[in-house]
Amino acid sequence: MGGIGSLLGLLALLGFAMFIGGIALAFVAASQGRPIRGAGLLALVGLVIGLLFSIVSQGIVIVDPTQVAVVVNTLSGQIETPFRAGTHVIVPIVQRVAVIYPITQQEYTMAAAENEGAQRGDDAVDARTSDGQTVNLDITVYYRVNPDEAGELYTTWNETYQTSFVRPTTRSLVREAVSQYTAEDLYSNARAQVADDMQQALTGQFAEEHLELTQLLVRAITFSDEFASAIEAKAVSEQQVQQAEREANRRRTEATGLRDAQITQAQGQAQATILQAQAEAEALRLVSQQIAANPTLIQYLYVQNLSDNINLALVPSNTPFLFDFNSLAQPSDVTPPEVPLSIEPTPEETPEPGS
């Protein structure tokens, strides 16, 4: 009840001690034939003090900020408005404090480990998935008493709400939520979703029983050894398939790059050939224009390309003339070499007589 209640209780105890002491002194005085008036007065004062402070101490209720007190009217049997933090006065005998609930956050854990849960031993929630697999879940729920509805909680559950409601309700709704999923879903990506489903279901149930659920934690999900091995083998197989796909994609990319490079090279070569042909055609066009404008230009170019020591050129008779031979046939200042008019035959060439 707090410091004031303890002090009043101590004063009441001292009063009753005075009463007992006065009675004892009165007996001693009577046995010795002395007057008992003083001892009787001490006993009377002690009795009054003891009864007074005892009644007063029972009529004062001190509630801490982390508590709420449920008060019952003993005459009508009705639950009165709960007392929140502070000092309150009740009528002794007519009113009494039935229970004081903590309104701080409480937790209840069900786990497989020996000393982690609210109960000793393996207390994990066993559940069955939609595909028939059995899983075990370590669950922790955080909740608190609704202080405005503490009287209704006392009427329904008294002080057994944790073992009579929190535990069985949580286990039941956890099993129901798990039954909506396959074991593979829980193993991969559905863990957060199933935790949300559990919390939504429990929030409504707790509110109906005057409790506020603040959080639910799925601390662990344990699968059977056979299922875990099968899932691991499947994961390895999927990784191998993904690796093969990545390798195939890499080779396709390399092949595509090589093909594109070859196409680009061929296109470049074709473009270069076209540009070269266009340049040669343009050059020929310009040469044709120059020849048409100056017919003797080709003769000049021909002579320019002859060696310096060439004095005579033989031209086939069927070759189109590139030069004006009339101009070339004109006498020149060059003196031709002397040629012998007769040539004597060599001994091999002498004709035999009679031939």
Q: What CATH number did the domain enclosing 211 receive?
A: 3.30.479.30
**Tens-digit pLDDT profile for residues 276-311:** 888 888 888 877 887 787 777 666 666 666 666 665
Domain span including residue 168: 106-223
Q: Which two tokens stand for residue 161?
A: 């709400």
Q: Is residue 76 part of a domain?
A: yes
- Say whether both 82 and 136 belong to one domain: no
Share of the chain above pLDDT 70, in %: 78
pTM for the model: 0.56
Q: Is residue 246 part of a domain?
A: no
The answer to whether residue 141 scores a pLDDT higher than 90 is yes
- Say whether both 42 and 117 belong to one domain: no
Give me the mean pLDDT over the 257-275 stretch.
Answer: 86
Q: Is residue 167 part of a domain?
A: yes
Domain end marker among 180, 200, 223: 223
How many structural domains comprise the chain? Answer: 2
Q: Which two tokens stand for residue 88?
A: 């309150």
DSSP state of 310: -
Q: Which two tokens stand for residue 10?
A: 């101590």
Question: In this structure, are residues 165 and 157 in contact, taking their beta carbons and an 8 Å threshold?
Answer: yes
Domain end marker among 102, 121, 141: 102
Q: What is the mean pLDDT of the chain?
A: 80
The answer to whether residue 226 scores a pLDDT higher than 90 is no
Nearest Cα neighbor of 209 from 266, 274, 155 is 155
Q: Which of 34-38, 62-66, 207-211, 284-288 has the highest mean pLDDT?
A: 207-211
340 versus 185: the higher-pLDDT residue is 185
Reported for 326-330, long-range contacts at CB under 8 A and 24+ positions apart, including other chains, are none
CA distances from 82 to 71, 149, 213, 302 (A): 6, 8, 21, 128
Q: Is residue 161 part of a domain?
A: yes
Nearest Cα neighbor of 202 from 118, 67, 110 is 110
Q: Which two tokens stand for residue 296?
A: 């003797």
CA distances from 167 to 163, 203, 210, 321 (A): 6, 14, 15, 121
pLDDT value of position 145: 96
- Say whether both 33 and 79 belong to one domain: yes
**Lowest mean per-residue pLDDT among 20-29, 119-128, 189-198, 335-344:** 335-344
